[in-house]
Structures are given as C-alpha cells and as structure tokens.
Amino acid sequence: MTESQIPSNKFPKRLNAWLLRFVAWRQRNIKERTFVMVLALIVGVFCGVAAMVLKALIHYIATVLTGHMNTIGGNYLFIIYPFIGILIAGWYVRHIVRDNISHGVTRVLYAISQNKSRLKSHNMYTSVIASSITIGFGGSVGAEGPIVCTGAAIGSRLGQLFRMSPRVLMILVGCGAAAGIAGIFKAPIAGMLFTLEVLMLDLTTVSVMPLLIASISAATIAYGYTGYSFEFFFTQSEDFFTGRIPYVILLGIGCGFVSLYFTRTMNMMENTFKRLGKPWKKTLLGGLILSALVFIFPPLYGEGYGAIEDLLGGDPSEIVEQSVFVSESASPLFICLFIGAIILLKSFATSATNGGGGVGGTFAPSLYVGCMAGFLFAFAMNSALGLDLSTKNFALMGMAGVMSAVMHAPLMAIFLTAELTGGYNLFLPLLIVSTIAYGTIKVFEPYSIYTMRLAQRGELLTHHKDKAVLTLLKMDSVIETDFLTVCPNMSLKEMCDTIARSSRNLFPVIDTNGVLLGVVLLDEIRNIMFRPDLYRRMYVNEFMSTPAAKLTIGQSMENVMNTFDTTAAWNLPVVDEYGRYVGFVSKSKIFNSYRRVLRHYSED
C-alpha cells in the first residue's frame, strides 16, 4: 500500500509517533536551553507573519470601505460600517469560534497563572479574523491585544507540540506575546519589555535570550515586509529645552488622571454590558453607541493612527475638518473642545466596540488618547498663555504618559513611543512623563487595566515571588484526606479504637450529612483515653473542640496562608460550600509544595 492509500486517520498517529521519537532524540542530543532558542526563533517568525497578515487584512477592509468616501464634515456611512463590523465579529465569535476571545492580554495572563501556560489552538487565528473585521469596519479598538493573544497561543502550542515543561511553556508564551508586539509595531525592545512589565515574567538568563530572539525575528519580518521606516512619521523640528521640564511634569500628572478616567470608564462600561445578558442586547447597545460617536467624531473610526500622524505633524486641521460641526475655519477654542471631547469619548467608543461583540485591544486607544492629551495640553497652554510649546513634542510625550499609566508599564511605554516614531532625542521628557503618569495612577489604581480583574479574583501571577508561587499553587493539590472521621455520639471506647487504627493525631467530627461539627485532637484527650471507667460514660460531643478556622474549597492559596498566619494553626479543615467536610490542609504540605514550585519555576 502506498502512502497516499493509507487511511487519513493514520496520519495523526504517525505524526504523533514521529514527534515522540523526535522529542526523545532531542532530549538525548540537544540541551533544553539551546532548543528553547530555536523554538523562540520559530515563534518570532510565525508571529511576525501573523502580525503582517492582521495589518494587511485591516488595511484591505478599511480601504475597500472608506477609500472612496469624503469625510469632510462627516459621512453617514460612519453610522452603518461600525455597527456591521461588530455584528459580523460577534456572530463569528458566538457561532464559529464558540469561545470567549475578548480581553486577549488578560486571557494570556490567566493562562500563565491558572492554566499552566496552555492556550487553545484556535487562538492562533481566531483573534486575527475577528479583530480584522472589527477594526476594518471602524471598531474603535487596536490590533495589539489580539496579536498578543495570537502570538502567545503560537508559543504555547509549539511548546506543547514538543512536550516542553510548564516552565518552558511560560517562556514561549512570553516569546509569542513579545513577538506579536514587536511585529505589529516594529518595536523589538518594547516587545520584550511588554512581556516583562505587563505579563510579569521574570527577567533571568534563561528568559532574556529567547525573548530577544523572538522579538528581533518578528521585527525583522515586519521590516522586510513594510520597509525600514517608523510606524508613525515624526520629525523633531524643535529642540527640547530644560526650561520646559515644569510643563512636562504637569503633563505627566495630567496623563495620570486621563489614564485613571480611561481605565475606570472602561470598567464601568464593561460592567454595564455584562448586566445586559443577551448578546443581541449587547450588540444593539454597542452598535448604537459606537455608530453615533463615530458619526459625530469621525477620528474615532478604527485604530485612529491617521489622527495620530496628523497631530505628530503638528496639524490638527484634518482631524477637525471631519467633524459634522466644522465651519470654514476652526477657532482655537473649537479645536480644544473637539479634541477634549474625543479624549473623553474614546473610552466609551472602545468599550462599546468590545462590549457589543467586537474584538480588539486597548493599546491603540491608549496611544490615541495620549497623543490627543499631549497635543491638547500644549495647544491650550499656547493659546491661553501665549507660550510656544511644541505641540508635536508634547503629543509624543502624551503617548508615552497615558500608555505608561493605563498599562502600568513605564519602560515599555518609553521605548515603544521612541521605536514607533524615532523620537529618541526626547528620551528625557519621555522618561519624566511616563514616570510621573505611572506614579500618579498608582495612587488610585494598584493594578493595570489588564490585571485588575485577575487580581480581584486572586489569580494574578506577579513579580512578587511569594505571591507568584502561591498563585501557581492550587488548594486541590495540598488537601489531605487520610484522616479518620468520627461521629458526635461515639463513645470514648469507640474513639480509642479509631485512634488505634489511625496514623494521624487529628480527627474530624461530622454529622450524618457529612457536615463538619468540630475536631478531636489527640493531645487534648490523652489524659482520659487510658481511663476505662470513662469509656462508656463519655462521648465525642463532650470533648471535641471547634477548629481555629475553616477553609473553603477553591479558596486562593494567598488567603489560605493569611488564615494560617492569623490563627497560628498547623492544620485547618477544608469544607465545601455547604459546610461538608472535605479534608485538611497542613503547613508542612504547603511548604513542601511551595518549595517544589519555587524550584521548578525559578530554575536558571
């Protein structure tokens, strides 16, 4: 029988057998660190291609839809296109994907902390399709969140294919995310810093080289496809003077508060859409909000990169001309009001896009809002006080400031802004604005827009080594169930017989329904267990005691450890939601598991 005649169901078996032989050969002949470098290179190439495909799809759809449009004074097609986009994307996600692919970065964080860095196969392409439809039709979101999820899934699936350990899978997920950012923005340093600051992977000698290799290879693919040019055209026509630093500080504080508004508005809108329940209600509300905002303020259409380029060029006229309120010549007051309204409404447009069924990220919106905020600050100061601040420079600084605060990633924001525009000569003011904006929002929001949901549920993996290990630990893995149970009406004689059969010195007392009533400690009954005269006269309910605390199954390990610290207990019982006895958790078991996980994930 020729190979072409072999039944198709035999190919997966043969492929699996070949992979197992290759894995065995690799383990004998190639060191793990070397093989991880190879995988990082492959991940970077695939992610670079995925980023170019996503950008090409978005550009193609947007060009077909809007290439012939006259946007001066608005256009009624802006009412129709965004609604159709989130309608198609929502239908695709619900009926084709049948899985939640929104909040791409948050899902990657969840996979790292709760799912052993495993992502589903469809995540390698479904976010690309859904987000290209959403953004191409005018959804007011960015492509960066979806490409991060796509890249992370590529790294995860490739690692699983070659049977890599969870520790290596975590590195490969980080490589995919870094490569996604590097490919979509042509920013390799920012890609690596994104993984370190946002995904919170530790920077070690094991992780730094794979991250760099993946980021550089993805950026190389992007440069080869689009040419060696920056994402946004920016020419610094005015030097930055140290006398401008007080204004830079004020901009940093302002960016912090703009970011706080952006973050809280996004959360408020997300909760509003969650309460709607029915998908058609979400699509209807999201479509109405998005279409209305895009029609009145056309610069909200899509990613908004055209508006960013206009402001980085120092000319707001093309943005203002798209307004339905435009007159022949816009006054400085009108420009300030128009741009200020866009800053306030961008978070509503982004939330409506995602809440209505679209798929997109908050990278581009934060860059967009930051650019608008920086430009508005300089323009308003110049108009009101007669200053000569460079609106182009301050627009660039605003991009770094808002992104730094929204994502709690100041280093990534600084390098991303510089790599996007080539504005390296403004490194000092970028540092100042990013640092101050980040410090401002930290006073009010301890977590970024990506991590706050996981942090509230105790599922966030952070750079804090103790918290990170406790997050990776699961209560199910430390529950001990080899304790013999006793009943409250059991006599002391029966209790002693139970003690003779047990290897433990602790006995849970349960009723007929399995509900935990108390515990019997061997040390507390040692003075009576050798008195035969009490065997028939004393019962368990007379000498049992109440446990110092009860743990609930599914509780986070950080809360478990806090309970142990508060009670100073060595063993604590675990019950289910109905109070039924499940088992015990001991400090010794936790410490042994803690050390095992710490060694496994900190291996360098």
Co-location of 83 and 33 in the same domain: yes
pLDDT at residue 327 is higher than 70 = no
Of 179, 208, 226, the residue that ends a domain is 226
Four-point Cα dihedral 492, 495, 501, 507, nearest 10:
-140
What pLDDT score does 289 carry? 95
pLDDT at residue 7 is higher than 50 = no
Q: Domain count of the chain?
A: 3
pLDDT at residue 114 is higher than 90 = no
Token pair, residue 384, equals 């009101």
- pLDDT tier, 462 (very low <50, low <70, confident <90, very high otherwise): very low
Within a domain: 493:
yes
Residues linked to residue 519 through DSSP beta bridges, in sequence order: 508, 545
The amino acid at residue 62 is A
Residue with tokens 């960016």: 255
pLDDT at residue 322 is higher than 90 = no
What pLDDT score does 16 carry? 77
Give the count of beta carbons closer than 10 Å to the beta carbon of residue 103. Answer: 20
Q: Are 135 and 86 in contact (CB under 8 A)?
A: no
Write the pLDDT tens digit of every residue in 345-379: 999 999 999 999 999 988 899 999 999 999 999 99
Q: Which residue has the higher pLDDT, 228 or 293?
A: 293
Co-location of 511 and 546 in the same domain: yes
What pLDDT score does 348 carry? 96
Residue 231's closest CA among 49, 399, 60, 354?
Answer: 399
Residues linked to residue 240 through DSSP beta bridges, in sequence order: none
Within a domain: 216:
yes
Q: Supply the DSSP symbol for 124.
A: G
pLDDT at residue 1 is higher than 50 = no
Give the count of beta carbons closer than 10 Å to the beta carbon of residue 351. Answer: 26
Write the pLDDT tens digit of every residue in 277-314: 889 999 999 999 999 999 989 889 988 888 898 888 87
Percent of the chain with pLDDT over 90: 43
Q: What is the mean pLDDT of residues 214-241?
A: 85
Of 226, 256, 291, the residue that ends a domain is 226
Within a domain: 585:
yes
Co-location of 562 and 509 in the same domain: yes
Q: What is the mean pLDDT of residues 394-404?
A: 95
Residue with tokens 């001991």: 586
pLDDT at residue 382 is higher than 60 = yes
Q: What is the mean pLDDT of residues 166-194?
A: 92
Token pair, residue 98, equals 């049948």
Give the count of beta carbons closer than 10 Å to the beta carbon of residue 29. Answer: 9
Burial, 261: exposed, middle or buried (Cβ in 10 Å; 0-12, 13-18, 19+)? middle
What pLDDT score does 5 carry? 42
Co-location of 487 and 590 in the same domain: yes
- pLDDT tier, 460 (very low <50, low <70, confident <90, very high otherwise): low
What pLDDT score does 105 carry? 84
Tell me the pairing of strands 571-575 and 551-552: parallel
Burial, 163: exposed, middle or buried (Cβ in 10 Å; 0-12, 13-18, 19+)? middle
What pLDDT score does 72 carry? 62
Q: Residues near 468 by Cβ (< 8 Å), separated by ≥ 6?
A: 200, 461, 462, 601
Q: What is the mean pLDDT of residues 561-569?
A: 82
- pLDDT tier, 272 (very low <50, low <70, confident <90, very high otherwise): very high
Token pair, residue 445, equals 């929001």
What pLDDT score does 566 carry? 84
Burial, 300: exposed, middle or buried (Cβ in 10 Å; 0-12, 13-18, 19+)? buried
Q: Which domain holds residue 16?
A: 1-27
What pLDDT score does 269 carry? 93
What pLDDT score does 388 carry? 87
Co-location of 208 and 72 in the same domain: yes
pLDDT at residue 144 is higher than 50 = yes
The predicted model scores a pTM of: 0.78
Write the pLDDT tens digit of every residue in 511-537: 988 999 999 988 888 888 888 888 888
Within a domain: 309:
no
Co-location of 479 and 570 in the same domain: yes
Q: What is the mean pLDDT of residues 396-414?
A: 94
pLDDT at residue 601 is higher than 80 = no
Q: What is the mean pLDDT of residues 571-593?
A: 83
Q: Residues near 318 by Cβ (< 8 Å), separated by ≥ 6?
A: 310
Q: Which residue has the higher pLDDT, 237 or 240?
A: 240
Q: Are 386 and 413 in contact (CB under 8 A)?
A: no
Q: Are 400 and 370 in contact (CB under 8 A)?
A: yes
Instruction: Return the axis-axis angle of helices 587-601 and 166-185, rounded to nearest 10°.
Output: 50
The order of strands in the sheet holding 571-575 is: 479-480, 581-586, 571-575, 551-552
Q: What is the mean pLDDT of residues 554-563?
A: 78
Write the pLDDT tens digit of every residue in 84-113: 999 999 999 999 998 888 777 878 887 777
Q: Are 158 and 39 in contact (CB under 8 A)?
A: yes
Q: Are 411 and 379 in contact (CB under 8 A)?
A: no
Co-location of 184 and 220 in the same domain: yes
Token pair, residue 587, equals 């400090």
Q: Which residue has the higher pLDDT, 478 or 344?
A: 344
Write the pLDDT tens digit of every residue in 465-514: 445 555 556 667 788 888 899 999 999 888 988 888 888 888 999 998 89
Lowest model confidence (mean pLDDT) among 72-76, 221-225, 329-333, 355-359: 72-76
Q: What is the mean pLDDT of residues 572-601?
A: 76
Token pair, residue 90, equals 């929502």
pLDDT at residue 451 is higher than 50 = yes
What pLDDT score does 28 carry? 84
Co-location of 12 and 70 in the same domain: no
Q: What is the mean pLDDT of residues 379-397?
A: 91
Of 163, 198, 226, the residue that ends a domain is 226
- How large is the C-alpha radius of gyration of the chain? 29
Co-location of 5 and 83 in the same domain: no
Instruction: Return the axis-axis angle of helices 245-276 and 363-385, rounded to nearest 10°.
Output: 140
Co-location of 39 and 173 in the same domain: yes
Within a domain: 311:
no
Within a domain: 583:
yes
Which CATH number do you get for residue 534?
3.10.580.10
Four-point Cα dihedral 591, 592, 598, 603, nearest 10:
150
Taking the C-alpha atoms of residue 232 and residue 186, their distance in angstroms, rounded to an integer, is 11
pLDDT at residue 3 is higher than 60 = no
Percent of the chain with pLDDT over 70: 89
Co-location of 14 and 73 in the same domain: no
Co-location of 74 and 2 in the same domain: no
- pLDDT tier, 14 (very low <50, low <70, confident <90, very high otherwise): confident
Q: What is the mean pLDDT of residues 117-142?
A: 92
Mean model confidence pLDDT for the chain? 85
Within a domain: 331:
no
Q: Which residue has the higher pLDDT, 345 or 201?
A: 345
pLDDT at residue 218 is higher than 80 = yes
Within a domain: 313:
no
- pLDDT tier, 228 (very low <50, low <70, confident <90, very high otherwise): confident
- pLDDT tier, 598 (very low <50, low <70, confident <90, very high otherwise): low
User: Quick one: CA dihedral 281, 286, 291, 297, positive or negative?
Assistant: positive
pLDDT at residue 464 is higher than 70 = no
Q: Are 459 and 475 in contact (CB under 8 A)?
A: no
* Widest Cα–Cα separation across the chain: 106
What pLDDT score does 458 carry? 56
